[in-house]
Structure 1
Amino acid sequence: MTSITDPNMSDRFTNAMEEIHNKHLKTYGEIIDTTTELCQSHRQLVKSALDTCLKKCKDDDMLFETIQTFKKDLEQINTSLKEKRHAISGMVSEIQQKEMQKDDIIQKIEKLREEQAKRKELIESQNKANKDRLRNLGKARLVFQDHLGMEIRTILGKTQLVKGEKLQFVFRNINPSDQDSAYVVTMGIREDGAYQIVSSDPVLECLPVLESRLQETNNLPAFLANVRKEFISQARR
């Protein structure tokens, strides 16, 4: 056994202790490296698991949205089918009603034909009355134009008030101080065949009364004679 008093003993002991210490440090370093590798591997495993979970959640969300879209589309299709069934039912009902109304339509057509025939008779009657009025105009022309110097003009009205063909009766020899001064009354025939006084120049306040009397009597010469008298009366005031 080596004596403790050996002078090399202290060095050998120190070297042995350093060797043991270095081995422990090496072992500790290996443990730290292993632990670090395990931590990194664990982090990668956790990250991979987290990514997988996130992707799964995203896929589940997309699948849920797709399911919701399909449900909405299905609801719209069902609604459309209900509307179409309702429309078809309405069309069938309408066809049935039209079939039921066929006789009524035929009766209405017959009634319209009868009314058209009556209207034709009325038009023919109005045409006859218009011809009578035209004859009266001819007589008035002879009486007033040839004997009293009255001029008859045909005009085409451009306004709503004077629409269609009208006649102007131009009276002269009214004012003693101006024999050529023109006094004018414009008239026409309404759709119902009645005379219509459009205007007079100068204005006669009694013209509506004279027009009403003309429509009652249908005597155009008398109307023109009364208009002439009123113009003469007004000119001498």
Structure 2
Amino acid sequence: MMSHIKTEEELDIFNKSINDFWNRFRNTTLNEHYSQVLGLRDTYKDSNEALTERLSTKIKEEDRMVETFLEFRNKIHIQNKLIQEKQDNLSKLVDSIRDKEWEMEKLTKSIQDLKASLDKKKEIICTANKANKEKLKMLQKSYDLYKDHLGLEIRKIYGGKLQFIFRKIDPKDPEKPFTFSLCINEEGDYEISDSAPHLECLAEFQEKIRKTNKFSAFLANVRKAFIALACNECVNNV
């Protein structure tokens, strides 16, 4: 009986020892595992924080790069716009210069044409002046002849005209004036007008002297026409 009790006590002690060992083993294992889990958690947390910080830094750097890129692109856009405006202004300036060059060419040609026209007119005027001088010489010669023998007087009147005054035409009134006016036009031709009394044949005389340029004969014909007119008046008055 005593032996049986002793055996049970030993068995209880053994079981207790086993349980104590198991509890210690379990607690030790769980504590170690928990410690490992905590260590892993802390390690993960530290790694995650470091990674988060690196990612945050990277994102900030990329944001700055994007901002810098956008700013640079905006500057390029502004520069391109300014360049385009300058190119447009330059094109307008070039077109304006070309227009002015074309206008200058036209003006130069107009000046050259005008100069050529003036030179031609000067030549015509010079030729006309020479012809006029010759005609004036003839007029003076005819005037001297007719003044002394036929009572001719020449006066300069308005418009650059010369007035020819014949006397000794009418036998009843030798001092009665018979007149006509004469000038030389721009073409160098004789123009005869204002005869008093009026001569119907004056236009015919003008055409003839323009063709022959014989002024003495012209004066003789005018004087004869005035004499014929005066004689007709005398006949009509009888």
- TM-score normalised by length of structure 2: 0.54
Deviations 1:174-197 (A, max 9, x none): 112222211111111212221111
Structure 2 CA distance for partners of 1:105 and 1:165, relative to 1, 3 Å: closer
Identity %: 43
Paired residue for 2:193, among 169, 192, 198? Answer: 198
Alignment of 1:116-155 (within 5 A): 116-155=118-157
Structure 1: unaligned runs, 5 residues or longer: 1-88, 158-163
1:91, distance to aligned residue in structure 2 (A): 9.9
1:198, distance to aligned residue in structure 2 (A): 2.2
Structure 2 CA distance for partners of 1:95 and 1:186, relative to 1, 3 Å: same
Q: How many residues align?
A: 142
Tell me how far apart the structure 2 counterparts of residues 115 and 105 of structure 1 sit (CA, whole Å): 15
Counterpart residue identity of residue 167, structure 1 = L
In angstroms, what is the RMSD of aligned CA positions? 2.3
Q: Does the alignment pair 1:180 with 2:175? A: yes
Structure 2 CA distance for partners of 1:96 and 1:180, relative to 1, 3 Å: same
Q: Secondary structure at the match of 1:185?
A: strand
Counterpart residue identity of residue 181, structure 1 = K
Deviations 1:101-126 (A, max 9, x none): 43343333333323322222111111
Paired residue for 2:166, among 158, 163, 171? Answer: 171
1:146, distance to aligned residue in structure 2 (A): 1.1
Tell me how far apart the structure 1 counterparts of residues 96 and 193 of structure 2 sit (CA, whole Å): 52
Counterpart residue identity of residue 182, structure 1 = P
- TM-score normalised by length of structure 1: 0.54
Structure 2 CA distance for partners of 1:94 and 1:220, relative to 1, 3 Å: farther
Tell me how far apart the structure 1 counterparts of residues 105 and 128 of structure 2 sit (CA, whole Å): 34
Tell me how far apart the structure 1 counterparts of residues 210 and 92 of structure 2 sit (CA, whole Å): 55
Paired residue for 1:233, among 228, 233, 237? Answer: 228
Greater Rg by CA: 2
Deviations 1:138-176 (A, max 9, x none): 011112111111111222x2xxxxxx2221111111112
Tell me how far apart the structure 2 counterparts of residues 102 and 185 of structure 1 sit (CA, whole Å): 52
Which structure carries more relative contact order (alpha carbon 8 Å, separation 6+)?
A: 1
Identify the structure with the greater helix proportion: 2
Structure 2 CA distance for partners of 1:231 and 1:109, relative to 1, 3 Å: same
